[in-house]
Structure 1
Amino acid sequence: MSHATIATVSTLTVPGARLHYEVRGSGPLVVLAGAPMDAAAFAPLADQLAADHTVVTTDPRGIHRSPLDDPDQDSTPDLRADDLARLIVHLDAGPATVFGSSGGAVTALALVQSHPELVRTSIAHEPPSFALLANREQLAAQTEDIIATYLTGDTLGAWAKFMDQANIVLPDGVLGQMFGGERDPQVVADEHRWFTHELRGTVHWQPDLEALHAAAPRVVIGIGEESAGQHCDRASRALAAALDVEPIMFPGDHIGFVEDPERFAARLRAVRSQDG
């Protein structure tokens, strides 16, 4: 069922960048964060939640409509968390429930560590950080090979290695359909930034377990019901175990919020209702 809402589009100047953000609805503040996914990827989920929440989505720094002063600056979870902190303060509507997926999940965790007073609940959906995995050195070497492959111009080869590392199996021919042929120049630019300036810092992020465990905000680790055996499933379960919390299952896989925003919103709303 469609619940499209009108979004108020604005820009916030932050150190080194201009942050594109969109606001929908009214009620308790929910921030939806991705990396490298931009605000558009979260729009259907934001529309679902806007009936009873103020929902904020952003393009992370350097992606799509959030230009950098220095295009060669690396994007780290700590920098992105600082951007979200400034945005929440600017809106003066916190503390917020912060839902982050993939690289955005790492951003959400970094925000709890640096600005816990701005967060009511941090929902980290499938963070790809491999700091707590036993094969992290192998994963680090694979990541460097993926980046090097991309820099040779072999985009399909890089994505094939990325999917293999993530343990995501695609049907024959789908990889070429997704990343081959004529492609949107903005998508290609965002992809280039992800591989060259964002991937490394995101997966190498080291959680401060003591700070996360002791933080007043509630920390939730989310996993897709269809992500069993994938890299982000393993990384999420390792982090949940280290924090001594039970992971919460969400509909779909790594991008369940894109594929089924209605069911995903219902689960997120249920988690949000436990914020107290």
Structure 2
Amino acid sequence: MTEIVTRTLESTGATVAYDLRHGADAGAGRVAGRPPALFLIGSPMDAAGFGTLASYFTDRTVITYDPRGAGRSLRTDGAAETLPEEHAEDLRRVIEAAGTGPVDVFASSGGAVNGLALVARRPELVRTLVAHEPPTAQVLPDREAALAVCEDIHTTYLRDGMGPAMAKFLATAMRTGPFQENWRDEPVPNPADFGLPSEDDGSRGDPLLGQNMRGCTSYRPDFPALRAAGTRIVVVAGEESEGQFPARAAARVADGLGIGLTLFPSHHGGFLGGEYGQHGDPEAFARALRDVLDGG
């Protein structure tokens, strides 16, 4: 049996919810010889996305959390957008509040961007960071077009609502190869083709399309700080993700750190075991993650 303890903390502009999973083989607190706690982070994906992956690490205390503006973590400042530096501050507070000492971090997608921001600021809190497909357009050779595409998704959301904007986002996520300068000449994706509504319901609180799209993709990693950090950083992409935006960005981040890119099984959601109706190869993914963490 795994004991799950849920707590909240106050951060600047948000109340942040986080969970501690003490597996049957892990116990609680700091014990000599026990593996460090493992912090699983996404953005804007919340803790609900890590249930399957966490189940493979019952020998550790596993920490999950909901990023500000997503799931149970409510914004209190009324801000419409969030920057990776703000997420990094929330991560710092969670790690310190958890009381487990320095942690290992598996960070996926926007969470990987936020994990890089955390290590650049507070490397002593993180023993190993596994950064899985961080979608920062700033590192790409086609960054101007990529940033413009991301800006257009955000603008479409504010103008037309979730369906049209999410259709553009999904088309972008599925795309392989660089973004072209004439990207505006490409056909506009139809929301119905993705099973999405075309009607605007008037809401504008989506954590992906509204709050994090621009801040995440425009983040430029602080490579000098990351290279100087004592944290071991492993940058990862899925074996099935070759040529896609987040995987291309991962390769460039690895280059900026002067390290090789590590391949994990499956795709961008390779650790998912049915969460959000998506399936990767979670058992193989967890085995690859454990191999990396044990090698630190």
**Both structures adopt the same fold (TM-score exceeding 0.5):** yes
Q: Does 1:105 pair with 2:112?
A: yes
**Cα offset for 1:174?**
8.5
Q: Does 1:11 pair with 2:5?
A: no
Larger deviation: 151-160 or 140-149? 151-160
Q: Does 1:93 pair with 2:111?
A: no
The one-letter code sitting in structure 2 at the alignment partner of 1:30 is L
The one-letter code sitting in structure 2 at the alignment partner of 1:248 is T
Pick from 224, 237, 252: which aligns with 1:210?
A: 224
Partner of 1:115: 122
The one-letter code sitting in structure 2 at the alignment partner of 1:196 is G
Distance 1:174 1:56, change over 3 A: farther
Partner of 2:48: 40
**Cα offset for 1:73?**
4.5
Query: Do the aligned partners of 2:16 and 2:72 also contact (CA within 8 Å) in 1?
Result: yes
Matches within 5 A, 1:122-201: 122-168=129-175, 176-177=194-195, 179-180=196-197, 192-201=206-215
- Bigger Rg, structure 1 or 2: 2
Q: Does 1:270 pair with 2:278?
A: no
Pick from 61, 64, 79: which aligns with 1:72?
A: 79
Pick from 228, 242, 249: which aligns with 1:228?
A: 242
**Cα offset for 1:175?**
5.2
Q: Does 1:29 pair with 2:33?
A: no
**Cα offset for 1:218?**
0.5
The one-letter code sitting in structure 2 at the alignment partner of 1:44 is T
| Structure 2 alignment gaps of length 5 or more | 27-33, 177-189, 273-279
- Using the alignment, how far apart are the partners of 2:211 and 2:124 within structure 1? 29
Q: Secondary structure at the match of 2:267?
A: coil
| Structure 1 alignment gaps of length 5 or more | none
**Cα offset for 1:153?**
2.5
The one-letter code sitting in structure 1 at the alignment partner of 2:289 is L
The C-alpha deviation readout for 1:148-167, integer Å capped at 9, x for no partner, is 21222253322232233334
Larger deviation: 258-267 or 97-106? 258-267
Distance 1:93 1:193, change over 3 A: same
Query: Do the aligned partners of 1:29 and 1:53 also contact (CA within 8 Å) in 2?
Result: yes
Q: Secondary structure at the match of 1:152?
A: helix
Partner of 1:260: 281
